[in-house]
Amino acid sequence: MALWTLFGLARGKATRDGPDAEAPVRDVPLGLPRIAARDCAPDCAACIASCPTAALTASEPGEGQAGGTRIALDYGRCIACQRCIEVCPADVLMPGHDRAPGVRRREDLQFDPHAHRITAQVQELMARRFKRSLHIRHVDAGSCNGCESELQALLNPFYNLHRLGIFFTASPRAADLLLVTGTVTAPMQEALQAAWEAMPEPKWVMAMGACAISGAMAREGYAGGSGAAAAIPVDVYLPGCPPTPAAIMHALLLLLGRSRQRLHGGRIDG
Amino acid sequence: MNKLVMRMHAAGLPGAIETLLAGGGRMQMVYAHTQPGPLQVCYLASPGAGKPLELWCVDALPGGLPSMAAHVPLLGWYEREMQDLSGVDLVHHPEPHPLVIERRAGQPAPLSCADGCGRFPAPHVLPDVAGEDIQELDFGPIRADVFESAQFRFFYMGERILRYQPRLFLKHRGMEKRFEGLRADAAVHLAERVSGVGALAHALAYCQAIEDAAGIEPPPRARAWRSLLAELERTYNHLHYLGHLADTTTLKVGQAEGRLLEERAKQINAAVCGHRLLMNVLVPGGLRRDLHLPAHVPQELARLQRDSVRYLDQLERTSSFLDRLHTTGPLPRQVAFDQGATGPVERASGLDRDLRRDHPYAAYDAHPPRIILHGDGDAYARYRVRCGELLESLRLLRALARDLPAGAVRTDCPVPARGLGVGWAESPRGSVYYVAHMDPAGRLARVKIKSPSYSNWRVFPYTVHDSNMMDYAINEASFGSTIAGCDR
């Protein structure tokens, strides 16, 4: 056992800087697509046809608005597969390098080029009630195990979630946050609701990953569900497939009022 | 030639199976489909290394098909799944109750009707265990820590587990049905999300099935990249496995070290292909885009190799860790074969099978892996096989990275109408097979997935009966199966 300690000490600090310092972390994959403020070619629906999760729709200008058809994108469904970017003939859809940002309202994941930009900040609902620590009960309600893999990564020495005062707990009775992954299949719905009911007030729910937000690939099948919001009220939505550990950390700190929401009305700040 | 498709009559099945087994072959799976025309049942058989796989197609009989589960136990789950999802009746099945979902009387089978039918979980059918002082423990579906959901029932006396009955498929998402009607190139994202930590192996097996149907082969550079990515997947999965195994033996330093090495492997994945879990890279015909090895990656791989060797040495010197693995959860060779064990689990029980060597794909003919075997079949053997495979993967990675050929990474993959293809890959957890049937318009009509965790979850309970409660978590970790891959 002495050797473990010796080698551990010799290697030095393994934990990344941050999380607030946006230090270069090599975990930002090919990110969510971005959409240029341009009209699409007439009758082009290549991206809409290519999207495996129906995240893209055509958006027509409203009354009194100029311009033609543009593309609306629901980040809550997007799995960042990059297919729309590959097929877009006019570079309206472009590769993004943003990690998936967490939001407090489902609408903030919906980008519609013809909608007015939402400028009003959402009330600080959480009001820093969990200022010091946060205990999480995770429930897998029908995931592919990708989200679990990245959640487990949060506990490795590189991300070291504990240093932020955030812990996973076994009992829902000791939990502040229910973190849901997966589409919520019929057999898991009951267990999910039981876990939520067992939690003391105040309690919050985070839907993590495209499946828990919208059902993504398995949406509306004979067995797949359509996300956590159909079963329990959701307070934070974290898109991505799967969200990277840094994105999960950002969303957890958002809940604690220790990070800033970066996506409003489907538009990423700055 | 990758495969032979044979028409057969149900009466000929027992004879064909006997011949196959006598020749050293093994049944892989059975599934039902309706393309083209009436309900047909297909058995996938592998006669042995180097010989083409065989797909035996049998018409479903009106009075039901005779169950082959008594001859080949590993077919038992596949047959029950056909019963639940495709509505194939089976005669004389040793365990006739539902496995994946339960259908109410008169309700159509999900794979033969439009969406919206049959959402009932299969009942937890329990063994008949009675006696004084026997306790029952229901564990799950939500478990402590960050785990996938499944439910387990233990019948035990003191420390001794008498019987163990898992209830899986609570996470069944109906993934095979989701393939129906999709274009072949679009469905690769679905294959990647069958089992997130096996995304590359699933995508690879799927792409190879489509390429088999189209009769094309991807260019050499794409094939080399596919092997390289597949070994990256094995590396991060095996490191995760070791960290988790150390955790279950309460060796927390070993857990932290394993998780840190896994993290470094995942960061290499992201640097190489833009995704930590190696998604969004493959497409039928090759790769979606050309990849370039960033300059720091060869060095990182060398460092990862050096640190992994030291980590494994440390584990091998820690007796508190090793003591918990020796003689834990033994899986005899015959049970491993009969019940369908695959991957490191079967190789730890002495079965010398690995698709990378036996049916080479991607670049494994030019870069054959050394196959790691062990004869003891216990948790220690399963751990040792994974250790050996990890080091072998790291060696292969450096060789593959050095010899990456130049050239195109994608070739056209025109999908034939009514085509049929079989693809496979040796994932970190064992063999993945995909069979894809195309409809008259060249779209996917039926895709059947054989996932390694489905196979190994079938085997696992045989190592739990008559074992100790305190060893359970270690034994489960020593299998390293996923629930998502099993439930699909």
pLDDT single digits (tens) A138-181: 999 999 999 999 999 999 998 888 888 899 998 899 999 999 99
pLDDT in tens, B447-462: 999 999 999 999 999 9
A252: domain CATH number? 3.40.50.12280
For residues B338-346, give the mean pLDDT: 95
> What pLDDT does residue B364 have?
94
Count of beta carbons in the 10 Å neighbourhood of residue B106: 5
For residue B105, what are the contacts with CB-CB under 8 A and spacing of at least 6? none
Angle between helices B220-248 and B379-402 (to 10 degrees): 150
Contact A4 B149 (CB under 8 A): no
Put simply, the chain B residues between 233 and 272 with a CB less than 8 A from any chain A CB are: 240, 253-254, 256-257, 259-260, 262-264, 266-267, 270-271
For residue A75, what are the domain limits?
34-100
> What pLDDT does residue B116 have?
55
> What pLDDT does residue A260 have?
65
Contact A26 B270 (CB under 8 A): yes
> What pLDDT does residue A120 have?
41
Element (H, E) at B57: strand B53-59
* For residue B36, cis peptide bond before it (omega within 30 degrees of 0): yes
> What pLDDT does residue B55 have?
92
> What pLDDT does residue A88 have?
85
Q: Where in chain B is the domain with CATH 3.30.460.80?
A: 3-121
> Is A26 a member of any domain?
no
Distance CA B456, CA A26 (A): 34
* Whether A144 and A248 share a structural domain: yes
* Whether A56 and A181 share a structural domain: no
> A32-36, A60-64, B90-94, B199-203: which has the minimum mean pLDDT?
A60-64
State the SS3 of B129-194: CCCCCCEEEEECCCCCCCCCCCEEEEEEECCEEEEEEEECCCCCCCHHHHCCCCCCCCCHHHHHCC
Among B64, B8, B55, B54, CA closest to B31: B55
Is pLDDT at A262 greater than 80 in this prediction? no
For residue A64, what are the contacts with CB-CB under 8 A and spacing of at least 6? none
Which residue bears the tokens 């991505």?
Answer: A240
Please give the DSSP secondary-structure letter assigned to residue A66.
-
For residues B98-110, give the mean pLDDT: 80
Band of the pLDDT at B197, cuts 50, 70, 90? very high
> What pLDDT does residue A18 have?
65
**Chain B residues with CB inside 8 Å of A218's CB?**
173-175, 178
Residue A188 and residue B121 in contact, taking contact as beta carbons nearer than 8 Å = no
> Is A200 a member of any domain?
yes
* Whether A247 and A171 share a structural domain: yes
pLDDT in tens, A98-123: 666 778 788 778 777 776 544 444 44
Mean pLDDT of chain A: 80
Is pLDDT at B105 greater than 80 in this prediction? no
What's the pTM? 0.92
> What pLDDT does residue A257 have?
74
> What pLDDT does residue A37 have?
76
Is pLDDT at B322 greater than 90 in this prediction? yes
Please tell me whether residue B231 adopts helix, strand or coil conformation: helix
Band of the pLDDT at A129, cuts 50, 70, 90? low
Count of beta carbons in the 10 Å neighbourhood of residue A46: 18
Distance CA B403, CA B228 (A): 11
Residue B474 and residue B324 in contact, taking contact as beta carbons nearer than 8 Å = yes
Is pLDDT at B145 greater than 70 in this prediction? yes
> Is A11 a member of any domain?
no
> Is A39 a member of any domain?
yes
Distance CA A158, CA A153 (A): 8
> What pLDDT does residue A38 have?
77
Q: Where in chain B is the domain with CATH 1.10.645.10?
A: 179-479
Token pair in block for residue A159:
């991300």
Band of the pLDDT at B266, cuts 50, 70, 90? very high
Residue B347 and residue B372 in contact, taking contact as beta carbons nearer than 8 Å = yes
Residue B379 and residue B325 in contact, taking contact as beta carbons nearer than 8 Å = yes
Buried b (16+ CB within 10 A) or exposed e, B86-97: bbbebeebeeee
> Is A5 a member of any domain?
no
- Contacts of residues B96-101 at CB distance under 8 Å and 24 or more positions apart, as own/partner, are B97/B122, B97/B123, B97/B125, B98/B122, B98/B123, B99/B169, B100/B169, B100/B172, B101/A223, B101/B169, B101/B172
Band of the pLDDT at B477, cuts 50, 70, 90? very high
> What pLDDT does residue A221 have?
76
Interface A-B: count of C-beta contacts within 8 A: 191
Band of the pLDDT at A208, cuts 50, 70, 90? very high
* Whether A158 and A243 share a structural domain: yes
Residue B173 and residue B486 in contact, taking contact as beta carbons nearer than 8 Å = no
Residue A244 and residue A28 in contact, taking contact as beta carbons nearer than 8 Å = yes
Task: Report percent pLDDT > 70 for chain A.
Answer: 83
Which residue bears the tokens 């670049």?
Answer: B363
Q: How far is CA B37 from CA A9, A251, B108, B182, in A?
A: 67, 50, 17, 19
Sign of CA dihedral B393, B268, B486, B29: negative
**Chain A CB within 8 Å of residue B161 CB:** no
Residue B288 and residue B410 in contact, taking contact as beta carbons nearer than 8 Å = yes
Which residue bears the tokens 């551990």?
Answer: A8
> What pLDDT does residue A264 have?
66
Among B330, B322, B364, B321, CA closest to B350: B330
> Is A211 a member of any domain?
yes
* Whether A94 and A138 share a structural domain: no
- Smallest Cβ–Cβ distance between A14 and the set B260, B274, B277 belongs to B260
**Chain A residues with CB inside 8 Å of B262's CB?**
153, 156
**Chain B CB within 8 Å of residue A220 CB:** yes
> What pLDDT does residue A24 have?
41
Is pLDDT at A78 greater than 70 in this prediction? yes
Number of domains in chain A: 2
Q: List the beta bridge partners of residue A111.
A: A73
> What pLDDT does residue A19 have?
59
Token pair in block for residue B221:
């550079």
A78: domain CATH number? 3.30.70.20
Is pLDDT at B475 greater than 90 in this prediction? yes
Token pair in block for residue A80:
């960042």
Is pLDDT at B249 greater than 50 in this prediction? yes
CATH among 1.10.645.10, 3.40.50.1820, 2.60.120.10, 3.60.20.10 for B179-479:
1.10.645.10
Token pair in block for residue B431:
């063999």
Token pair in block for residue A205:
């729910």
> What pLDDT does residue B377 have?
92
**Chain A CB within 8 Å of residue B443 CB:** no
Alpha carbon of B341: minimum distance to chain A alpha carbons (Å): 21
Q: Which of the two residues, A262 and B307, has the higher pLDDT score?
A: B307
Band of the pLDDT at A182, cuts 50, 70, 90? very high
Is pLDDT at B259 greater than 60 in this prediction? yes
**Chain B residues with CB inside 8 Å of A81's CB?**
189, 279-280
Alpha carbon of B181: minimum distance to chain A alpha carbons (Å): 12
Look up the CATH number of domain B3-121.
Answer: 3.30.460.80
**Chain A CB within 8 Å of residue B53 CB:** no
**Chain A residues with CB inside 8 Å of B314's CB?**
3-4, 7
Distance CA A55, CA A75 (A): 7
Is pLDDT at B87 greater than 90 in this prediction? no
Is pLDDT at B148 greater than 50 in this prediction? yes
> What pLDDT does residue A269 have?
61
Residue A261 and residue A102 in contact, taking contact as beta carbons nearer than 8 Å = yes
Among B173, B70, B227, B366, CA closest to A144: B173
Contact A152 B263 (CB under 8 A): no
Is pLDDT at A266 greater than 70 in this prediction? no
Put simply, the chain A residues between 176 and 205 with a CB less than 8 A from any chain B CB are: 182-183, 185-188, 191, 195
Distance of CA B475 to the CA centre of its chain: 18
Alpha carbon of B19: minimum distance to chain A alpha carbons (Å): 38
Kindly report the backbone phi and psi dihedral angles of residue B431, in degrees, each rounded to the nearest multiple of 5, phi listed first.
Answer: -80, 135
Among A150, A154, A153, A196, CA closest to A177: A196
Distance of CA A20 to the CA centre of its chain: 18
pLDDT in tens, B199-240: 999 999 999 999 999 999 999 999 999 999 999 999 999 999
Mean pLDDT of chain B: 91
CA atoms within 13 A on the CB side of B392: 19
Band of the pLDDT at B355, cuts 50, 70, 90? very high
Distance CA A8, CA B372 (A): 29
Q: Please report the ipTM that was assigned to this predicted complex.
A: 0.89
Token pair in block for residue A206:
């985070």
Q: Are strands A177-181 and A204-208 parallel, antiparallel or unpaired?
A: parallel
For residue A262, what are the contacts with CB-CB under 8 A and spacing of at least 6? A98, A101, A250, A268, A269, A270
For residue B381, what are the contacts with CB-CB under 8 A and spacing of at least 6? B348, B349, B374, B375
- Smallest Cβ–Cβ distance between A222 and the set B119, B169, B199 belongs to B119
For residues B174-198, give the mean pLDDT: 91
Put simply, the chain B residues between 319 and 378 with a CB less than 8 A from any chain A CB are: 320
Task: Report percent pLDDT > 90 for chain B.
Answer: 66
> What pLDDT does residue A87 have?
86
Is pLDDT at A251 greater than 80 in this prediction? yes
**Chain B CB within 8 Å of residue A59 CB:** no
For residue A194, what are the contacts with CB-CB under 8 A and spacing of at least 6? none
Q: Which amino acid is at B325?
A: L
Alpha carbon of B25: minimum distance to chain A alpha carbons (Å): 32
Please give the DSSP secondary-structure letter assigned to residue B442.
S
Alpha carbon of B437: minimum distance to chain A alpha carbons (Å): 20
- Contacts of residues B289-294 at CB distance under 8 Å and 24 or more positions apart, as own/partner, are B289/B409, B290/B221, B290/B409, B291/B225, B291/B409, B293/B401, B293/B404
Contact A186 B175 (CB under 8 A): no
Q: Which of B276, B291, B323, B488 is the best residue to mutate to test the A interface, defined by the most A CB atoms within 10 Å of its own CB?
A: B276
Q: List the beta bridge partners of residue B59.
A: B40
> What pLDDT does residue B203 have?
96
> What pLDDT does residue A22 have?
46
> What pLDDT does residue A263 have?
67
Question: Which of A26-35, A92-101, B240-249, B411-420 shows the highest mean pLDDT?
Answer: B240-249
* For residue A202, cis peptide bond before it (omega within 30 degrees of 0): yes
> What pLDDT does residue B411 have?
92
